């Protein structure tokens, strides 16, 4: 059977008991293993990494939707990370024995079931997209949960599955298929969020920055520090080392330094920097995807 990775992002990072229940929903089935999860209060977001065969993964993810829809109300949820859904994004990534077509099929199968069972609008993105104009995740997130009801009324914005109306508490859900994505955050020695936003703008590809890089600048209120939050969409085009070097250069142009860096989720072994300490990064062995797959008996 093909082996897939799935990295659902849920709009909850401030209630540990809820995050624990969400994680428990992903541990219940043989054939699908929860490899890692983390939550951040400032982003108000939890990220889960699981791997397994398509059908056990689908069943585990349906349980995640049940718990998330029962416990998360986006009308009261706030955080620095953009979000449009309680279960915000659910990307599938092909692993051993799997093709991108397998990941796309898993995304479409899950999306159809989520729409049917939960009356939830579903949009497909990246390789799973049905409409090329709605392929990019930032385009689908634009306007956030608060702006989505009006957006869904616009021509060309009917969901790919489910009702053409916003779920009152859970918004919409974005389900996709893609290559490995590395979530790479840089903490600045500054509390100026506008500085972080300028650095992010100069880093991201859409503004003429680095290839296959998305970036936003945010303020982490709990630490009193600004952060540049990067998504490296293809580490073969822009590595963590290259992204860090450019970010440090841009930070120094602003008269500040990078204090530390972190990854959210797991990193493929091929993307691990030769000298993580030069990136001010504590990349422990348990954050390497292949190590966790071996521990779980999946590699």
Catalytic positions, written as ranges: 81
Tokens 């889960």 sit on residue: 48
| Euclidean distance between CA atoms 47 and 233, whole angstroms | 17
- Cβ neighbours of residue 39 closer than 8 Å, sequence gap 6 or more: 12, 13, 14, 16, 19, 45, 46, 47
Give the pair of three-digit tokens for residue 7. 């990295």
In degrees rounded to 5, what are phi and psi of residue 161?
Answer: -150, 155
**What angle separates helix 54-71 from helix 16-25, to the nearest 10 degrees?**
150
Would you give the DSSP letter of residue 84? S
**CA 225/CA 83 separation, integer angstroms:** 21
Strands (E), 140-291: 173-177, 182-188, 213-220, 225-232, 258-264
Alpha carbons 183 and 280: distance in angstroms, whole number: 15
How far apart (Å, rounded) are the C-alpha atoms in residues 224 and 287?
A: 26
């Amino acid at each position: 059977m093909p082996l897939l990775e799935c990295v659902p992002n849920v709009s909850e990072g401030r209630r540990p008991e809820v995050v624990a229940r969400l994680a428990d929903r992903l541990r219940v089935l043989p054939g699908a293993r929860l490899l890692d999860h983390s939550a951040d209060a400032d982003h108000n977001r939890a990220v889960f990494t699981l791997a397994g065969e398509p059908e056990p993964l689908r069943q585990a993810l349906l349980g995640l939707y049940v718990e998330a829809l029962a416990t998360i109300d986006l009308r009261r949820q706030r955080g620095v990370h953009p979000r449009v859904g309680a279960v915000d994004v659910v990307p599938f990534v092909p692993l051993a024995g799997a093709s991108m077509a397998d990941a796309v099929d898993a995304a479409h199968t899950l999306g159809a079931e989520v729409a049917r069972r939960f009356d939830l609008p579903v949009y497909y993105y990246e390789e799973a997209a049905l409409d090329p104009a709605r392929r990019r995740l930032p385009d689908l997130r634009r306007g956030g949960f608060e702006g989505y009801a009006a957006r869904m009324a616009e021509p060309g914005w009917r969901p790919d599955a489910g009702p053409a109306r916003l779920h009152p508490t859970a918004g919409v859900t974005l389900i996709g298929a893609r290559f490995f994505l590395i979530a790479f955050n840089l903490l600045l020695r500054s509390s100026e969020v506008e500085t972080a936003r300028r650095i992010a703008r100069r880093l991201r590809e859409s503004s003429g920055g680095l290839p296959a890089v998305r970036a936003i600048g945010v303020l982490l209120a709990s630490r009193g520090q600004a952060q540049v939050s990067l998504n490296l969409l293809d580490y073969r085009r822009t590595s963590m080392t290259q992204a860090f070097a450019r970010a440090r250069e841009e930070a120094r142009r602003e008269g500040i330094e990078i204090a530390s860096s972190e990854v959210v989720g797991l990193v493929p072994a091929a993307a691990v920097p030769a000298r993580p300490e030069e990136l001010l990064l504590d990349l422990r062995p348990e954050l390497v995807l292949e190590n966790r797959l071996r521990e779980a008996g999946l590699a």
